[in-house]
Amino acid sequence: MKVLVTGANGMLGQGLISHLRDTATIDLLAGIRSPDRQTGLPTDVEPVVLGDLRETGPLPHKALSVNAIVHCAARVHVMSESASDPLSAYQEANVHGTLRLATQAAGYGVQTFIMISSIKVNGEATPRGLPFRADMPAAPSDPYGVSKWETEQRLQELSAKTGMKLVILRPPLIYGPGVGANFLRLITAIEKGMPLPLRNVHNRRSLISLKNMADATLRCLTHPAAAGRTFLVSDGEDLSTAELIRRLSEMMGRPARLLPFPLPLLRVMGRLTGKSAVVSRLIDDLAVDSAPIRQELQWAPPQTVEQGLQHVVQWHRTHQQTKSH
């Protein structure tokens, strides 16, 4: 099976390529935006320059002469948005760019298209004991989530029209080597011994390690029952933010400096400082039901949460040592 992975130099793309290249039956192509994006790619994986997917015109013949495409390339969610019209910016990259790739892929006879979507299609938070499921109504609340939902719908229309098999994966936060954003900030805060007012947080948050995400994607590539399905994926063990901090602190050899603080006051402080979204992600529930992919595709995460966290801590330690030299 010949597989193109787009966004190959991003965190998820690199993790997928690292995992898939160990599978003897898969011949990989690494889709990158420009020739200078080859850094970090394995030397035995052939890169193919796709250019900017937002542009028009035909994509390289080599990129589309494959059996399957795993589409990781996207304009990713950021906490501090700088675009004057964020929705249009996300739609241009995530909707129009993806449709350009998928439409040309279908024309070339690509058999399977796997879209890496986001749990943000479902929403930002779940009531206690009621995890998100794929069959729930979509409720995206920000431009990134809206763009992913629009992309899913357009791809489903294309699949129905052309017969190209479509699989959609909606992960929650993916953590692993190369992680950034809020997860990296949390690790940095623990490393610096910063007091965190989160002892009273008893929420439930689903996560997925990079290795588990890559393995779930591999199962969708190889299992015939995956076609036409949307799956929510996770490690299978939900953690509170406080428990996550405790585990990371122990692995890093740092004290967990968790302070008690009233949650309503945290929300007020978030509103006053323009950080409501950050506070919500720290204290609200966001749980996903990953039972369908486990039961229907017989998928089991190869890595426990403990192993996944240990892996990212080891990466961070090595990364910091490399930066200091």
pLDDT one-digit tens code per residue, 205-228: 999 999 999 999 999 999 999 999
**Alpha-carbon span 288 to 133, nearest angstrom:** 6
Domain that residue 40 falls in: 2-178+207-236
- Within-domain flag for 320: no
144 flagged as catalytic: yes
In a domain, 257, yes or no: no
Nearest C-alpha neighbor of 99 from the set 62, 171, 147: 147
**Looking at 90, 108, 144, 175, which residue is catalytic?**
144
Residue 33 belongs to a domain:
yes
* CA–CA distance, 33 with 27 (Å, rounded to integer): 20
Instruction: Check pLDDT > 80 for residue 24.
Output: no
CA distance 30 to 17: 8
**Residues 209 and 311: beta-carbon distance below 8 Å:** yes
- Quote the radius of gyration of the chain (alpha carbons, Å): 20
Torsional sign, CA 128, 283, 287, 117: positive
Question: Does the residue 313 lie in any domain?
Answer: no
Tokens matching residue 166: 């479509």
Q: What is the pLDDT of residues 149-193, one digit of tens each?
A: 999 999 999 999 999 999 999 999 999 999 988 899 999 999 999
Distance CA 100, CA 155 (A): 10
Between the alpha carbon of residue 302 and those of residues 23, 216, 246, the distances in Å are: 15, 9, 23
Q: What is the CATH number of the domain that holds 127?
A: 3.40.50.720
Place of tokens 């889709």: 31
Q: How confident is the model at residue 324 (pLDDT cuts 50, 70, 90)?
A: low
What domain count does the chain have?
1
Rounded distance, CA 105 to CA 99, Å? 9
Check if the beta carbon of residue 146 is closer than 8 Å to that of residue 95.
no
C-alpha 230/C-alpha 220 separation (Å) is 10
Residue (of 73, 10, 12) closest to 210 by Cα position: 12
User: Within a domain: residue 70?
Assistant: yes
Q: How far apart are CA 220 and CA 214, in angstroms?
A: 10
- pLDDT(82) > 70: no
| Structural domain includes residue 318 | no
Q: What share of the chain is helix, strand, coil (3-state, %, to 5)?
A: 45, 15, 40
Residues 6+ apart with CB under 8 A from 111: 67, 68, 164, 165
Q: Measure the CA–CA gap between 39 and 24, rounded to whole angstroms.
A: 24
pLDDT for residue 239 is more than 90? yes
- Is the confidence at residue 195, as pLDDT, over 60? yes
What pLDDT, in 10s, does the model give residues 92-104?
A: 889 999 999 999 9
Which pLDDT band, with edges at 50, 70 and 90, does 325 fall under? low
Residue 230 is assigned to a structural domain of this protein:
yes
Q: For residue 96, is it within any domain?
A: yes
Q: 198 Cβ partners below 8 Å, 6+ apart?
A: 241, 242, 245, 258, 259, 261, 282, 283
pTM score of the predicted model: 0.94
Separation between Cα atoms, residue 181 and residue 201, nearest integer Å: 21
Q: How far apart are CA 254 and CA 240, in angstroms?
A: 19
SS3 state at 66? coil
pLDDT for the residue numbered 42: 87
According to the model, what pLDDT value does residue 62 have? 95
165 secondary structure, DSSP code = E
The amino acid at residue 4 is L
- Location of structure tokens 């994986």: 45
